[in-house]
Amino acid sequence: MLALVALVILNAFIFAQTSVPEELTIVKQKYKALREHLVETKNEKFRMLWREKPITGYLKMSDSVGWNTNKGQEIAICLDGTPNQIMHVLIHELAHCTVNEYSHSKEFWANYVELRNIAMQIGIYDRIPTREQFCGQRIQDGA
């Protein structure tokens, strides 16, 4: 009986420690709104973003704000900031899914700006006009 009680307590502890961080839940809701908007407006340019990309988050890793594996097979974003800062990084990673190359090309930046503007238009993102510290890096929206 004592072992059963210990097992229940251990399970409760593990469950409490593995819950989804609130910031990730908020950003996933905003991401869903972005996807739904792209589908509803039949935005063919961003058709590759209509289906959900798996998004994970991590805490307490400096010098890495996010990454994207195989054009959206998995996207990971740092969660040590505000939901708006996290959304900034997610939009950046989603823009990588929209171009063939892996670099930050002119097409990548143009698509990033367009996605960012759509996100602002539908009220899920606020522009970051000045450099802000985020996960060991500085983030900011350009023009």
Per-residue pLDDT tens over the stretch 100-129: 998 999 999 999 999 999 999 999 999 999
Per-residue pLDDT tens over the stretch 41-94: 999 999 999 999 999 999 876 678 999 999 999 999 999 999 999 999 999 999
Tell me how far apart the alpha carbons of residues 61 and 23 are, in angstroms, rounded to a whole number: 16
- Judge whether 55 and 76 are in contact, CB under 8 Å: yes
Per-residue pLDDT tens over the stretch 12-42: 777 767 778 899 999 999 999 999 999 999 9
pTM of the model: 0.86
DSSP class of residue 139 equals E
Q: Which CATH number fits domain 22-139: 3.30.70, 1.10.3470, 3.30.2010, 3.90.320?
A: 3.30.2010
> Is 10's pLDDT higher than 80?
no
Q: How many residues does the chain have?
A: 143
Q: Helical H runs in 1-143?
A: 2-17, 22-40, 83-96, 106-121
